[in-house]
Amino acid sequence: MRKYCLVLFACLFVCCTAVPAWSFMPTYPDDQEFEMCAKINTWDECAKDETQRALRVVKQQYRTILSTPSILQWHPSADENVAVLRDMYDSWSAFRTRLCSLSNKAATYMESLVEEKISCNLYYVLHHRDHLNSILLLITRKAPENQQDFNFLKIYDHDEEYEACVAEKGQNCIDAELKRSGKIIKDYYKTFSEDEFVGKWNNGPDLKRGNYRDMYDSWIAYRNRMCSLAVWAYQSFYGAKSMDLNTCLQFYNREKLETMENLLLVAHSALDDAHEMDEDPSEEGHVFTTEKDDGGLAEGRTITPLENRIDAGMNTADDVLVPEETQPEEPEKPEPEEKRNIPAWAQ
C-alpha cells in the first residue's frame, strides 16, 4: 500500500508542466510553437524554446512601457524610468535564477518527467509577462472600465488576524497583515538556511551572505518596483482610491509565502522517508534517487553572487533580512552616468 501511494504521488507530481513542480499555481497553456515542437522533441527542449520566446515578449513589453507617453507621470524623467525599469528587470532575473535553482535542488529526490529548473523558469517568465501585460492594458487605457472585471492584483484570502481586525474596527487592516507576512517570509528563509537538506545550497555561512540573502534582496527589489509601477498604473486608470501600495505588496507577499511553503514541503515530502524504505532502490516505480547527496553545494555554486546589494527602492527598513549592523560593508557605488539610454536588456 505504501509503495502504491508513493507511485501515485509521483504520478501527480509529474502532471505539472509549465509550472514549478512544487507549486499549486495554475498551469499555463503551451503556445502553438511548443505544440509543434512537442511532436518531434522532448518537453524540456520545447519548454526551453518557449521560455526564450516568452522572454523576448517580456523585453518588448519593457520597451513598450518606456515608449508610452503617460509613463512620464510615473517618474517625470525619462532617464529615471529607464533606470528603475532596468533595476526591476535585473532584480527579477536574479530572483528567478535563484528560486529556480533552489526549486531544482528541493526536487532532487523526485524523478519527474521534466526538468524542474526548466519548468520553473518557464512559469516565472510567463507569470511576469502576464503581469506586465496587465500594466500595459492600464497605461494604454485598454483595461475594462469596471475595475471588478480586471483580474489583476486580486488579494489572496486574508489571514485570521486581518479578518478579526476588520470585524472589530471596521477598517482596512492591511498594514499589520503586511508586517506579519513579512516576518513569516523571513522566518522561512531562516528555516531554509538552517535546513539539513537545502541549507548548503546557500553557498554561504548564514543569511548575511550567500544565495538566500541574494534571493531575498533581489525579490524585495523586484516586488517594490513592480508594485510602484502597478499601483501608479492602477490609480491612473481607476482612480486614487482603487489600489494602495500595501495591498500590492501583500499580494506579492502572499504569493511568496505559498511558494516557500510548497517548496519546503517538496524538499521533505520524499526525503523524510528515503532512508527508511525497505524496497530495492532499483525496483520499478521507486521514486527516490540513490546518488550521494552533496547537501546542495553543487547546485548552489552554479549561481553567480550579486556583486552589489540591491537597493529595495522604497526605503523600507522592515525589508532588511538581517540587522543593519551585521550586514557586510557596502562597496563604493560608481558615479551615475550623465545620460542613460534604453538599457541593453530591453533591446
The pLDDT tens digits of the residues spanning 94-106 come to 999 999 999 988 8
- Give pLDDT tens digits for 133-170: 999 999 999 999 999 899 898 877 889 999 999 988 87
Q: Which long-range contacts (CB under 8 A, 24 or more apart) does 182-188 make?
A: 182/253, 182/318, 182/319, 184/257, 185/253, 185/256, 185/257, 185/260, 186/216, 186/321, 188/257, 188/260, 188/261, 188/264
Q: Do residues 264 and 246 touch, judged by C-beta distance below 8 A?
A: no
Highest-confidence segment of 56-60, 167-171, 269-273, 274-278: 56-60
Above 50 in pLDDT, residue 340?
Answer: no
Residue 22's pLDDT is: 43
Residue 317's pLDDT is: 52
Half-sphere exposure of 132 (CA within 13 A, CB side): 25
Residue 140's pLDDT is: 96
pLDDT grade for 115, boundaries at 50, 70 and 90: confident
pLDDT grade for 342, boundaries at 50, 70 and 90: low
223, 23, 301, 287: CA torsion to nearest 10: 180
Residue 38 belongs to what H/E stretch? helix 32-38
Nearest partner of 46 among 59, 56, 64, 33, judged by Cα = 33
Half-sphere exposure of 238 (CA within 13 A, CB side): 21
Is residue 165 classed as helix, strand or coil in its secondary structure? helix
Q: pTM for this structure?
A: 0.81
Task: Match 507530481 to its residue by C-alpha cell.
Answer: 13
User: Average per-residue pLDDT in the chain?
Assistant: 80
Residue 17's pLDDT is: 38
Nearest partner of 134 among 67, 224, 227, judged by Cα = 227
Residue 325's pLDDT is: 44
The C-alpha atoms of residue 167 and residue 150 are separated, in whole angstroms, by 27
Q: Do residues 234 and 138 touch, judged by C-beta distance below 8 A?
A: yes
- Give pLDDT tens digits for 195-244: 888 899 999 888 988 999 999 999 999 999 999 999 999 999 999 989 99
Q: Calculate mean pLDDT across residues 262-275.
A: 67
Task: Match 486574508 to its residue by C-alpha cell.
Answer: 158
- Any idea what the Cα angle at residue 200 is, between residues 118 and 107, rounded to 5°? 35
